[in-house]
Amino acid sequence: MTSEKFIELFNQAADLARAGKQKKALEIYESVSQTKAGITNTDLTSGDFLGVVELRKVFCLMDLNRYAEARRILESEKMQGFLTKFENETMYEYFFCYGNTLGNLSETVMMEDCLSRALAIAAEQLGDIEKSENCWYFIMYWAKQHKKWDFLEKQCVAAHMFGTDNDSVFLQTKALEFGCFAYNGLGKTDKARKAAEVVLERIRATGGKESALAEWKNFIATLEAA
């Protein structure tokens, strides 16, 4: 059983985090994990609850751009012990956060593995299309950020197929957009231009923002100038 005091502090920290007060929220999460703030040894809590507290600390650290600290928690012996107690939803959050933390730290190989594991949980265990979309998006995003063009091209094809099979227009669109950068990075200029023209036409057809139109027009112009 989880102590009411722990739950009260947890909810207080969550409210602060939602309000953008991550530093204060982190302090409260720390007080729970270290059994401070007037909590006595008789105020027991379950291991899975304490694991979620550790994960919420990671959320705060990521929002504060303190990725090295977030990684230390995610890889800690304490957290590894909690993983055996997590439900699928929390396991998804763990691997999703871990993957994006590693992406920010340029650890691309481990990032790919973690986000792929999060995707497998989202798609196969949870059947959650939105979570699946988020995983695919960041797999492609980090590949673009770190200029892993071969990998990005393959992931765009796979993401587009997943989007088609699951009626996700969002994922099909993002796969096409990221594919433009992969083709360009691989020197496939004609293919990049054709894909970018499709993106531009879709933005026009759906009444997209002028800023988005300008961005893709500029991208095409860059290709033509190359």
| pLDDT tens-digit map of 150-195 | 999 999 999 999 999 999 999 999 999 999 999 999 999 999 999 9
| pLDDT tens-digit map of 14-66 | 899 899 998 999 999 888 877 644 444 444 455 578 889 999 999 999 999 99
Q: What is the pLDDT of residue 34?
A: 75
Helix (H, G, I), strand (E, B) or coil at 163: helix
Q: What is the pLDDT of residue 162?
A: 97
In this structure, what token pair is assigned to residue 6? 């722990």
Structure-model confidence comparison of residues 119 and 52, the more confident one: 119
Specify the pTM. Answer: 0.89
Q: What is the pLDDT of residue 35?
A: 61
What is the rounded distance in angstroms from the CA atom of residue 149 to the CA atom of residue 154? 9
pLDDT-based confidence at residue 2 (cuts at 50, 70, 90): low
Contact present, 158 and 164 (Cβ < 8 Å)? no
Q: What is the pLDDT of residue 48?
A: 79
